[in-house]
A and B are shown apart, each in its own frame.
Chain A
Amino acid sequence: MKTIKNIGLVIFLIGLGIFTVLPLIGNFKLDQTTFDQIVADKGFKSELFIQSMQTEVVGREFSGMTSLSPKIVDALEKANAQHRINKEYKKVIYTSPHDMASLIGKTSGIGFIANNKGLMWFLTFGLGIIGALLFILPNIILQGKKGIKNDGIYHENATNKGWVAWLVFIFLVSFYLVLYFRPEFATNWTYLVDPISESLSGNPAGHWFVYGFMYCVVMTVMAIRMYIKYRHNVYQMVRTTSVLFFQIVFAFLIPEIMTRLQMPYYDFKNAFPLDYDFFFQWNLKSLLNSGGIGLFILVWGVVLTLVIVPVMVYFFGKRWYCSWVCGCGGLAETLGDPYRQHSSKSLFSWKIERWLIHGVLLFAVVMTGMTLYSFFEETSTVLGIKTQSIQNTYSLAIGSVFAGVIGTGFYPIFGNRVWCRFGCPLAAYLGFVQRFKSRFRITTNGGQCISCGNCSTYCEQGIDVRAYAQKGENIIRSSCVGCGICSAVCPRGVLKLENGPEEGRINPTEVLLGNDVDLMDLVNKK
């Protein structure tokens, strides 16, 4: 069994290794007709850009994106700079240089990788999946009987912030940096999944399709790990199945199929303000121009945030979204599960959390207010501040850096819910409802707590669960995403996630059940 695991690890690392070098290798050659086509499609009017592309790029063969990308970026930046000096604003090209490199790179791939997509898929994704499964499946036997399986978590390098964890951290952060800021380097990755993308939406894959596909693959493989690890706990099995379903069907398949049907690309479960650009002008325009379905999406999006989300939180707590439906939560609960113990439980972290997450919510709300004001008043500024620049700041700082690079990249160091805990504006909004108007609570079982600390240690949201449990108090925290792990790892059956009457949900106690009834009355009466 150990051997199978090791073979699996080697196969996985080979697949991962090939995947990792892909951005740096491969040949690119932009031919004249393709370039003319792009210029015509995009309506580029900058003769400077076209000319320098003609001399520097078209017809030449480049080895690796590292040699192609700078030429395109340079051509575009120089052309735009010159046009601005000349005040020829009509000729300025507003596509970002790296998106341009990505666009051109995608159409100019030649050679082995671009011509052997299926094989390359197998050598990367295929080997990765097979290797990971060979690594994970023997756990059915190796982990022994069903029960809590946290043996050795703090002895293992990978789960105790050792060098493996730091390598994973560097890999994840780099991956997100490429995705958000240097998409041209993802070009070879897009070739791997072109056949899948074409079969779904009819279009070749972009780097976001790579991400979406990879997201589903990673979640599925890691969900299998969850099923094995938590097979003693039916709640975890059902919940894992649910997040997996919503990721694959709602976040991945439906939007792609909608594209094929000439409908707007939309993830029906992604609620504003997590879906922060829902009210951006380009999105509203696109929805309003898409006929009935566009209008339906518009109404659905508003109803989802204003009615469905809070009503569901009232009945079930925010877990129905954060750990049963949400994509970010889905990744955190599968890929992130080995790192859940790293969330800080200090009071200091809680203070930072409250300022930060509510700050982001405020930011999102103000930005959206400005956006809507600009939209209806047909102005580009609010009180002298450019709406566009606020949107750009949010997209960069919150949408890309916080949610992506930090949110997922920092899994191995800060735990798996960094974004959900410190940044997600939707989580902040759901948290208000959960804290003040909900039937959900984690019930503490009388006086049974032994203060062992397993619940707090494995709380991914950094809630000091034990602090409540050892006082016999129910846990009513706005940040609780209801993953149910505290209840799963409790050795004494103290914690239970449940939805019940609001009355008595919050139950401050001093003297615990089991002691003198009169004393309890005396001390607990507030």
Chain B
Amino acid sequence: MEHIVIIGNGIAGVTAARHIRKNSDKKITIISAETDYFFSRTALMYVYMGHMKFEHTQPYENWFWKKNRIDLVKAYVNEVNHESKTLLLSDGNTISYDKLIIATGSKPNKFGWPGQDLKGVQGLYSKQDLDQLEANAPNNKICKRAVIVGGGLIGIELAEMLRSRKIPVTFLVRESSFWNGVLPKGESEMINEHILEHHIDLRLETNLVEILSDENGRAKAITTDKGDTIECDVVGLTAGVTPNIDFLKDSGIALGRGVKVNRFLETNIPDIYAIGDCAEQHEAIGNRRPIEAVWYTGRMMGEALAQTICGKKREYNPGHWFNSAKFLDVEYQTYGWVFSEKGLKENEQHFHWRHSKEFICITIAFDKNSRKFLGINTFGIRMRHEIFDRWLTEERPVDYVLEYLKDANFDPEFYSNYEAEIISKFNTEFGTTISPKKKSWKRIFAKA
């Protein structure tokens, strides 16, 4: 029986394992040093905040793995030997494989800051990081202030976590406005306001210079390039992540920043594949980045690779881009491509609408010549994935999208609707006379 070994029990590896099991009788082994069972990494924050216990983040009950004959090995892989097709584990054991899937995810970036390895300095990625945070910052007596370095999605989540225990937070962001490498100006500015509203000491255009140590080798303060020294007990390093592939250095597998793969997720070595955060495409797919460290893409690669492993060779061929996040109390969804001012594509025009009081806004990107709808960012309004996926496939013009915007609304019942307001602003700005169509179940559930 062919033995499929998967290194990493995150969403990519586990999705691959599940789909291989659905389609075949192969022997499947998942190796992870992090946890016994698969858990949702994106949910770690809720454990610290007391919304859930750690076991609630595990999507499958513990009996699931045995029942589906997916063997779990808790170990760390030191070396991959592709000639003998074996893995050397840190406990000295070896495991042989017929096909190997590398799905080892990421690790937090460290840019060589002085003091970055002191006690009390940590990232937020793994279960171990969560345990460490619980030890470093159990309450605001032991952690009197935390400094977070890096204004991305993990940074703002870490800030939310610490604030839930009333720990004062200073948030250093390199950019002139929060996440404005990704978000257009209006949205990024709205999130700045929301961060301040949550009593987070947001410092824009500020970089970490050094983390200072106390006599016990613990972080006691940081200095910034603005000349400030900020006393703190915890330093959160959240300046992005990087593929977790150090153990592959001498394996002969071609590496860039990540494990180099082709569209079939194959590495340069036969029978070795890489998926998820740690995989790097030779050439970026469409507007995507070569390394996509996103929950959804990890899952999609797992789905695609499982078909290949089971004899139906498939490319990793992602559909329309989508993503989601949550900034404190504000939900964010995106469908298609909306670029920030920094990455604006040729002919990309934006329409932005923001609610006068609430933190609700949308940005629609379209082609200023053809009027083709390119994408939408929504904050505080939920939208239907299927509808936008369909409109993007059908290459609808922006006018059509606005006219039928009510069909796309996914907010709970009785919520206020803003389509009329949005469209009237659009009409004023672009001299159109669009009037919103009533929501239609028939259109919503029509199969494309």
Q: Which residues of A contact B (CB under 8 A)?
A: 144-148, 150-156, 232-235, 237-238, 346-347, 443, 445-448, 450-454, 456-457, 466-467, 470, 484, 487-489, 491-493, 496-498, 500-501, 503-504, 510-519, 522-523
Chain A nearest CB, measured from B104 CB (Å): 19
Q: Is B81 an interface residue (CB 8 A)?
A: no
Q: Is B324 an interface residue (CB 8 A)?
A: yes
Docked-complex contact B329 and A150, CB < 8 angstroms: no
Most buried by B among A234, A496, A514: A514
B43 touches which of A443, A453, A511, A518 (Cβ 8 Å)? A453
Docked-complex contact B51 and A153, CB < 8 angstroms: yes
Docked-complex contact B413 and A498, CB < 8 angstroms: yes
Q: Which residues of B contact A (CB under 8 A)?
A: 11, 19, 22, 40, 42-43, 46, 49-53, 56-59, 61, 164, 197-198, 295-296, 299-300, 303-304, 307, 312, 314-320, 322, 324-326, 328-329, 331, 333, 382-386, 389, 393, 410-416, 441-442, 444-445, 447
Docked-complex contact A491 and B331, CB < 8 angstroms: yes
> How long is the Cα–Cα vector from A456 to B46 in the complex, in angstroms?
13
Docked-complex contact B296 and A514, CB < 8 angstroms: yes
B412 touches which of A155, A234, A456, A514 (Cβ 8 Å)? A234
Docked-complex contact A484 and B49, CB < 8 angstroms: no
Chain B nearest CB, measured from A524 CB (Å): 11
> How long is the Cα–Cα vector from A147 to B441 in the complex, in angstroms?
29
Residues of B within 8 A of A235 (CB): 412-415
> How long is the Cα–Cα vector from A454 to B45 in the complex, in angstroms?
11
Docked-complex contact B164 and A151, CB < 8 angstroms: yes
Please give 13 more A-B residue pairs, beta carbons under 8 A apart, in addition to A150-B50, A457-B56.
A145-B198, A146-B329, A147-B328, A150-B49, A234-B414, A347-B61, A446-B385, A448-B333, A451-B43, A453-B40, A498-B413, A500-B444, A504-B447
Chain B nearest CB, measured from A492 CB (Å): 4
Residues of A within 8 A of B384 (CB): 445-446
> How long is the Cα–Cα vector from A511 to B312 in the complex, in angstroms?
14
Residues of A within 8 A of B441 (CB): 500-501
> How long is the Cα–Cα vector from A8 to B312 in the complex, in angstroms?
66
Docked-complex contact A511 and B329, CB < 8 angstroms: no
Docked-complex contact A497 and B412, CB < 8 angstroms: yes
A456 touches which of B56, B197, B389, B415 (Cβ 8 Å)? B56
B61 touches which of A150, A233, A346, A498 (Cβ 8 Å)? A346
* Known A145-B197, A510-B22; contact A515-B333, beta-carbon cutoff 8 A: no
A152 touches which of B49, B314, B320, B445 (Cβ 8 Å)? B49
* Known A232-B329, A516-B315; contact A454-B445, beta-carbon cutoff 8 A: no
Q: SS class of chain A's interface: helix, strand, loop or mixed?
A: loop
Residues of A within 8 A of B416 (CB): 234
> How long is the Cα–Cα vector from A363 to B354 in the complex, in angstroms?
57
Most buried by B among A144, A346, A467: A144
**9 smallest beta-carbon distances between A and B, as pairs:** A446-B385, A147-B329, A493-B382, A452-B43, A516-B317, A152-B50, A234-B414, A451-B40, A155-B50
> How long is the Cα–Cα vector from A511 to B57 in the complex, in angstroms?
22
> How long is the Cα–Cα vector from A151 to B53 in the complex, in angstroms?
12
B59 touches which of A453, A503, A518 (Cβ 8 Å)? A453
* Known A155-B50, A451-B11, A453-B56; contact A493-B331, beta-carbon cutoff 8 A: yes
Docked-complex contact B51 and A510, CB < 8 angstroms: no
Docked-complex contact A445 and B382, CB < 8 angstroms: yes
Residues of A within 8 A of B316 (CB): 516
Chain A nearest CB, measured from B58 CB (Å): 8
Docked-complex contact B410 and A513, CB < 8 angstroms: no
B318 touches which of A453, A457, A514, A523 (Cβ 8 Å)? A514
Residues of A within 8 A of B442 (CB): 501
Docked-complex contact A154 and B333, CB < 8 angstroms: no
Residues of A within 8 A of B331 (CB): 491-493
15 A-B pairs with CB atoms under 8 Å apart are A144-B198, A148-B51, A347-B61, A448-B322, A450-B42, A452-B43, A453-B43, A453-B57, A453-B59, A454-B43, A498-B413, A515-B304, A515-B317, A516-B314, A519-B303
